[in-house]
């Protein structure tokens, strides 16, 4: 049933209680009518059918929350206890009704749940109801008086009897077909006589209700002054009520069990029908076998077709009539199936013509009318077995070929062993040569890689050099053309200026070509390397003296701070070239009045030489480009001197050939320090 429809029915059942309560009051019917028929029975049916949500909706609308104030109008504060206990009762039944849908357990049985509730009700009424009623009178019931304890006991007894009958009747209603159809509940499969039992139970319940109503007229339940001991004087009536309630309870339990059993039998019947349908219509070969004597109890049409018998003929046979195994083997197999040790095996079955077919049998245990039987599905594996046989023949043939070939190879191996013995020494030699060749190849690959990188760097370097040579040579052409064609128009001062410019360009080109020639000699191996122990001071002094005129013109002072006792191992000509390039480089980038200092410090195994200037310095980006032949480094000196950076590249190469290295420490505006390292003198030289 849809959510909307459930809400409508819940509201409808609640409204029956709501209006029925007022009608009962107007007709001055006993309070049992209110609680029993209008306000409790219909909401309880909704609660047990659909759960908590609908229980709250229907019970509250059915005056569960406030009917005690009408029924118990003379009991004052005691009505506050009755209201929540009834709400709890509805919620408890609805909660466990939901649980019953998930967990099929005795714990969630409707009568077990109410036995628990009756114990809660007894405790609450005897303690809470009795004590709260002592606070009377209430403002809405000024005539109310405290309830005596024996009256509370009577209330407990009557409430339990009342609610027991309500639960039984609600359970009966929920089993009736038209009620289940109304509430869209799952149909219960049962016989006609079971519905007759429900009808009889309903009639008995109604009879008990009338008897209970009749009893209420004489008990004067709402009169707080009557003698409650009189309720126990009606032994016949009370005993009748208890017996009838007990009969209803037992009848309902029996009917529930009958329904469960019939539902189980119905499900089992449906399962058997489905199994029979699959069994009959399946294309797979199926047999049902009695494990006690191995008789074939049932077979399908696929089995009859496979074995070549009619269904009647095959059902008259035993499994050992079809299986080539002995009876003892087949009984052992049946035992393994029954003990679940084995369920799948291969065998050979014989048809009516005596033809044998390999089969694969899958078996399991089934129960039919409480008796265990073996259900087997047989699969014809003739094609698979034939394929395996062919594969086996092929393997045998291949094995023969392999054996024949093996013998041929054995003879060949004898010849090879002789040849191998003779070649062993040659192989050893070849292994050594191969090892050397592999090492050589690795070196060649490394050298090739390095050579490619070097060639790429030098190609870029030569393009830079060519560009730098082109500028002064082009300048020469321009100057000489100017002098040649305009000699008559140029005065002496201009001629002197042009000659100075030509001289400057010639010196720049000469320096560039000199460095290029020296670098080329170092790269081609034509520059001889003759290291020896030499004093460092005189070499630096000689180079400084050669730049005396240039320093005087720029008013630059050079200090030679090298200790004349320091002796290093180096090639004298190469280090002279290094000093010349580093000092002229320092002169270019040192302004007038600046200073240049050359110094050296000794370490354990080396000598550290510094050429320090107070010049313009360099940025970090420019420093990173120095000493790289594939980077063009063009800087203008303080007197507009130009450089190509080739001198520093030559210095790096010459210092590395002498076993040292070179670095630069510089920052803009703070000068530069070019530092190179040489090895200390060797005692055996």
- Do residue 198 and residue 228 come from a single domain? yes
pLDDT, tens only, 486-503: 777 777 777 777 776 676
- Do residue 199 and residue 316 come from a single domain? no
Those residues whose C-beta lies under 8 Å from the C-beta of residue 609, and which sit 6 or more positions away, are 536, 562, 598, 599, 600, 675, 676, 677, 678
Split at pLDDT 50, 70, 90, the class of 34 is very low
Q: Which is more confident, 77 or 231?
A: 77
Whether residue 221 has pLDDT greater than 80: no
- Alpha helices (runs of H) in 176-234, residue ranges in sequence order: 177-182, 192-219
* Structure letter (DSSP) for residue 187: P
Q: Is 486 within a domain?
A: no
Split at pLDDT 50, 70, 90, the class of 237 is very low
Split at pLDDT 50, 70, 90, the class of 119 is very high
Whole-number pLDDT of residue 183: 80
CATH of the domain at 539: 3.30.565.10
Whether residue 163 has pLDDT greater than 70: yes
Query: How many structural domains comprise the chain?
Result: 3
Whole-number pLDDT of residue 564: 87
Distance CA 161, CA 53 (A): 27
Q: Is 449 within a domain?
A: no
Split at pLDDT 50, 70, 90, the class of 230 is very low
- Do residue 295 and residue 350 come from a single domain? yes
For residue 76, give its domain range: 3-267
Q: Is 56 within a domain?
A: yes
- Do residue 288 and residue 261 come from a single domain? no
Q: Is 258 within a domain?
A: yes
pLDDT, tens only, 165-202: 778 777 777 776 677 777 877 765 544 445 455 555 55
Q: Is 523 within a domain?
A: no
Stated pTM of the model:
0.35
- Do residue 226 and residue 307 come from a single domain? no
Q: Is 438 within a domain?
A: no
Q: Is 460 within a domain?
A: no
- Do residue 186 and residue 318 come from a single domain? no
Q: Which is more confident, 552 or 8?
A: 552
Of 380, 409, 427, which residue constitutes the final position of a domain?
A: 380
- Do residue 171 and residue 64 come from a single domain? yes
Whole-number pLDDT of residue 519: 58
Whether residue 220 has pLDDT greater than 70: no
- Do residue 238 and residue 101 come from a single domain? yes
Distance CA 42, CA 19 (A): 13
Of 329, 350, 380, which residue constitutes the final position of a domain?
A: 380
Q: Which is more confident, 538 or 157?
A: 538
Instruction: Kindly report the average pLDDT of the chain as a whole number.
Output: 76
**Which of 365-379, 395-409, 424-438, 658-672 reaches the highest mean pLDDT?**
658-672
Taking residues 338-361, report their average pLDDT: 85
Of the candidates 111, 58, 102, which has an alpha carbon nearest to the alpha carbon of residue 245? Answer: 111
- Do residue 287 and residue 199 come from a single domain? no
- Do residue 198 and residue 65 come from a single domain? yes
Of 320, 349, 380, which residue constitutes the final position of a domain?
A: 380
Whole-number pLDDT of residue 236: 41
Q: Do 313 and 337 contact (CB within 8 A), yes or no? A: no
Split at pLDDT 50, 70, 90, the class of 249 is low
Q: Which is more confident, 56 or 248?
A: 56
Whether residue 159 has pLDDT greater than 50: yes
- Do residue 171 and residue 69 come from a single domain? yes
pLDDT, tens only, 390-425: 888 888 888 888 888 888 888 877 877 776 777 777
Q: Is 456 within a domain?
A: no
- Do residue 660 and residue 584 come from a single domain? yes
CATH of the domain at 331: 3.30.450.20
Q: How many CB atoms lie within 10 A of CB 220?
A: 12
Q: Do 23 and 67 contact (CB within 8 A), yes or no? A: no
Q: Do 168 and 252 contact (CB within 8 A), yes or no? A: yes
């Amino acid at each position: 049933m849809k959510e909307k429809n459930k809400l409508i029915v819940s509201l409808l059942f609640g409204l029956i209680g709501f209006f029925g309560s007022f009608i009962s009051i107007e007709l001055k019917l006993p309070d049992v009518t209110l609680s029993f028929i209008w306000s409790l029975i219909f909401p309880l049916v909704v609660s047990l059918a659909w759960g908590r949500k609908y229980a709250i909706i229907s019970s509250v609308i059915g005056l569960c929350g406030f009917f005690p104030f009408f029924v118990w109008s003379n009991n004052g504060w005691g009505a506050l206890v009755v209201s929540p206990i009834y709400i709890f009762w509805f919620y408890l039944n609805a909660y466990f009704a939901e649980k019953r849908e998930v967990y099929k357990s005795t714990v969630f049985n409707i009568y077990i749940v109410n036995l628990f509730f009756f114990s809660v009700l007894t405790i609450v009424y005897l303690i809470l109801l009795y004590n709260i009623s002592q606070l009377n009178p209430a403002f809405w019931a000024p005539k109310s008086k405290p309830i005596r304890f024996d009256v509370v006991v009577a209330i407990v007894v009557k409430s339990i009897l009342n609610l027991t009958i309500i639960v039984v009747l609600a359970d009966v209603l929920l089993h009736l077909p038209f009620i289940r159809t109304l509430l869209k509940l799952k149909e219960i499969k049962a016989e006609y006589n079971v519905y007759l039992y429900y009808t009889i139970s309903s009639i008995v319940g109604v009879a008990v209700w009338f008897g209970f109503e009749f009893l209420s007229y004489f008990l004067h339940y709402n009169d707080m002054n009557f003698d409650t001991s009189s309720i126990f004087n009606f032994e016949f009536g009370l005993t009748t009520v208890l017996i009838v309630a007990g009969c209803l309870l037992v009848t309902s339990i029996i009917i529930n069990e009958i329904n469960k059993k019939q539902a189980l039998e119905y499900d089992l019947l449906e399962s058997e029908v489905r199994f029979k349908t699959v069994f009959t219509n399946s294309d797979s070969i199926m047999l049902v076998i009695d494990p006690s004597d191995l008789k074939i109890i049932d077979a399908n049409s696929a089995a009859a077709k496979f074995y070549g018998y009619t269904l009647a003929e095959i059902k008259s046979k035993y499994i050992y009539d079809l299986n080539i195994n002995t009876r003892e083997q087949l009984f052992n197999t049946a035992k393994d199936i029954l003990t679940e040790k084995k369920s799948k095996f291969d065998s050979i079955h014989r048809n009516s013509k005596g033809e044998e077919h390999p089969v694969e049998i899958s078996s399991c245990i089934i129960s039919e009318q409480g008796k265990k039987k073996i259900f087997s599905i047989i699969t014809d594996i003739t094609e698979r077995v034939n394929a395996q046989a062919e594969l086996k023949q092929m393997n045998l043939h291949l094995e023969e070929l392999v054996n024949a070939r093996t013998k041929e190879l054995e003879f060949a191996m004898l010849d090879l062993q002789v040849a191998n013995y003779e070649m062993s020494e040659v192989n050893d030699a070849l292994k050594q040569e191969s090892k050397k060749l592999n090492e050589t190849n690795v070196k060649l690959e490394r050298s090739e890689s390095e050579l490619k990188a070097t060639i790429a760097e030098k190609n870029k370097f030569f393009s830079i050099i060519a560009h730098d040579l082109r500028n002064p040579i082009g300048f020469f052409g321009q100057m000489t053309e100017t002098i040649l064609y305009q000699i008559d128009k140029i005065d002496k001062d201009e001629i002197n200026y042009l000659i100075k410019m030509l001289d400057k360009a010639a010196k720049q080109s000469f320096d560039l070509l000199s460095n290029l020639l020296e670098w080329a000699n170092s790269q081609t191996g034509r520059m001889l390397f003759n290291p020896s122990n030499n004093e460092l001071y005189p070499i630096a002094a000689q180079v400084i003296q050669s730049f005396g005129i240039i320093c005087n013109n720029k008013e630059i002072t050079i200090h030679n701070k090298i200790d004349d006792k320091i002796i290093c191992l180096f090639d004298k000509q190469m280090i002279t070239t290094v000093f010349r390039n580093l000092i002229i480089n320092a002169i270019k980038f040192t302004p007038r009045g600046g200073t240049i200092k050359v110094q050296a410090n000794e370490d354990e195994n080396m000598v550290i030489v510094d050429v320090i200037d107070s010049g313009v310095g360099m940025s970090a980006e420019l420093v990173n480009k120095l000493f790289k032949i594939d980077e063009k480094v063009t800087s203008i000196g303080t007197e507009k001197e130009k450089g190509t950076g080739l001198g520093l590249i030559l210095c790096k190469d010459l210092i590395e050939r002498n076993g040292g290295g070179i670095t630069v420490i510089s920052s803009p505006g703070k000068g530069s320090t070019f530092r190179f390292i040489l090895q200390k003198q060797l005692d055996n030289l």
